Amino acid sequence: MTVSASIIGAGLGGLTAALALMREGYHVRVYEQAPALREVGAGITVSPGAGQGLASLGLEGELLAASTPIPDIAFAHYRTGALLAGRFERDAPLDGGFSTPRHIHRADLHAILLAGVRAMDSAAVVPAKRLVEATPDDAGVTAAFADGETARADILIGADGARSSVRRLLFEDSPPVFAGQIAFRCLIPREIAAPYLSAGNAAVFLGPGRVFNRYLIRQGTLANVIGLAQCDLWRNEGWNTPATPEEFIDVFEGFHDDVLGLVARAPPESLIKWGLFVREPLQGWSSGRVILIGDAAHPILPFLGLGAALAIEDGLVLARALATGAAPPAAFAAFERARGDRVETVRLESIRQGRILQSGEPDGGAVARSPSQNTALFDYDPRTVALHV
Ligand SMILES: Cc1cc2nc3c(=O)[nH]c(=O)nc-3n(C[C@H](O)[C@H](O)[C@H](O)COP(=O)(O)OP(=O)(O)OC[C@H]3O[C@@H](n4cnc5c(N)ncnc54)[C@H](O)[C@@H]3O)c2cc1C
């Protein structure tokens, strides 16, 4: 039986996989390139299924305390601020649990996962280890790091994000492709944001080629703001390119004052921009004793807010597949069969959602239908999805 795993990347997918595998008795080491695991990122969405999956790893209390349920989302006209017909009405009642999607600061979820992993094994996460080579053989996989050290385990899981080294070294060498979209984000204390929240705690403003999304996180104390706009050219990599309020406002010219006024008051140090990148789907996510999960396997556009959920689901379902005791190729194949349709559906629906949200002068018809049609996408349950090993 497989008993040891090297996981490359301590993001949300890698840490979820680590915790789930350790609870199944695996010896796990998570190798992270960053020298220190710091607070990074901003708001993300945890779908009901991903939330329930994390709860099944013993994180329910922390996760509920740190996240905010999304009772409804107002869809508003970008220029007038008028409420369009769309509201994220769900059949399930708000029960304070995981019956609705929840918003959380990525750093808070990351900290919860990290604490969960370290509680099981304080040495499980190894910072300052950038993978530069991975050499699989019949019995295991040797990982080599930039500092010259190596590590060997029965399997290697590439959870190293959209610019995955594992993918480049062992699967395909082509870089991700710019998707023609730029993202801006900022975090604004509620007391500053309050005058601009007339559309409610969670609102999306739809405009031609642009969509502006803002919601409250951290017990309603912080407004998370994200703007996604079509754009011809983007050069920088990573999540940390500073932006200015003027740039953000310039791109969202013509939007309502609830948008532009809010951005104008953002603490400058919280303003970040990044380009969105995509890849063509891989034929498969595994090869022998190596498998890719999360953004390394299948980066998606963020219009449905399901990127983090997919990475979490991957970690949970992969641990279930390996817990069957099947040899890695068979367990990996079962994982891929279980996940393939789900991932491809979310990928395509995210593209479609982007087209709808940025389609032009919004009218109630097109946008009103999309949120309710999408509720099924949020209810996927990684704890129960069928696995055929
Ligand atoms: C710093 C950061 C900030 C983010 N901020 C946001 C945000 O504000 N909003 C949002 O929607 N999404 C954000 N994301 C992306 C979001 O978290 C992911 O899209 C999603 O959670 C999928 O997670 P993942 O685990 O597959 O990949 P990621 O979360 O990207 O994690 C990948 C991890 O692998 C590490 N890594 C990469 N290459 C190597 C290597 N060669 N060796 C070792 N380690 C390596 C990275 O440092 C990272 O910690 C952010 C991601 C990161 C890394």
What strands lie across the sheet with 102-105, from one edge to the other? 43-46, 102-105, 68-69
Going from the C-alpha of 195 to that of each of 172, 258, 259, 262, 386, the distances in angstroms are: 49, 8, 11, 8, 48
Which residues are registered as beta bridge partners of 211?
Answer: 206, 228
CA angle in degrees (0–180, nearest 5) for 318-43-125: 45
- Beta-carbon contacts of 185 under 8 Å, excluding residues fewer than 6 positions away, are 42, 224, 225, 226, 227, 270, 271, 272, 273
What pLDDT shows up at residue 368? 44
Which residue among 160, 171, 184, 303 is best mutated to probe the pocket of ligand 1, counting the most ligand atoms within 8 A of its Cβ?
160
Token digits of residue 279: 């890849």
pLDDT in tens, 193-226: 999 999 888 899 999 999 999 999 998 999 999 9
Residue 380 falls in the annotated catalytic set = no
Mean predicted confidence (pLDDT) in 18-28: 97
CA of 258 to the centre of ligand 1 (A): 30
What pLDDT shows up at residue 374? 63
- Whether residue 369 is predicted with pLDDT greater than 70 in this model: the reply is no
Measured distance CA(379)–CA(346) in Å, rounded: 12
- What residues does ligand 1 touch, defined as CB less than 6 Å away? 8-14, 31-34, 40-42, 44, 106, 130-131, 159-161, 165, 185, 239, 294-296, 302, 307-308, 311
Confidence of residue 89 (pLDDT cuts 50, 70, 90): very low
Please give the mean pLDDT across all residues of the chain: 90
CA of residue 78 relative to chain centroid, distance: 26
Which of 31, 78, 215, 380 is an active site residue? 215
- Whether residue 337 is predicted with pLDDT greater than 90 in this model: the reply is yes
Let me know: does 306 contact 346? Beta carbons within 8 Å: yes
Higher pLDDT, 360 or 17: 17
Mean predicted confidence (pLDDT) in 274-296: 95
Which residues are registered as beta bridge partners of 155?
Answer: 5
Confidence of residue 91 (pLDDT cuts 50, 70, 90): very low
Q: For ligand 1, atom 7, which residue shows the shortest CA distance?
A: 41
Q: For ligand 1, atom 35, which residue shows the shortest CA distance?
A: 9
**Which residue type does 349 have?**
E
pTM over 0.85: yes
Q: For ligand 1, atom 27, which residue shows the shortest CA distance?
A: 161
Is the Cα torsion angle 348, 350, 354, 357 positive or negative in sign?
positive
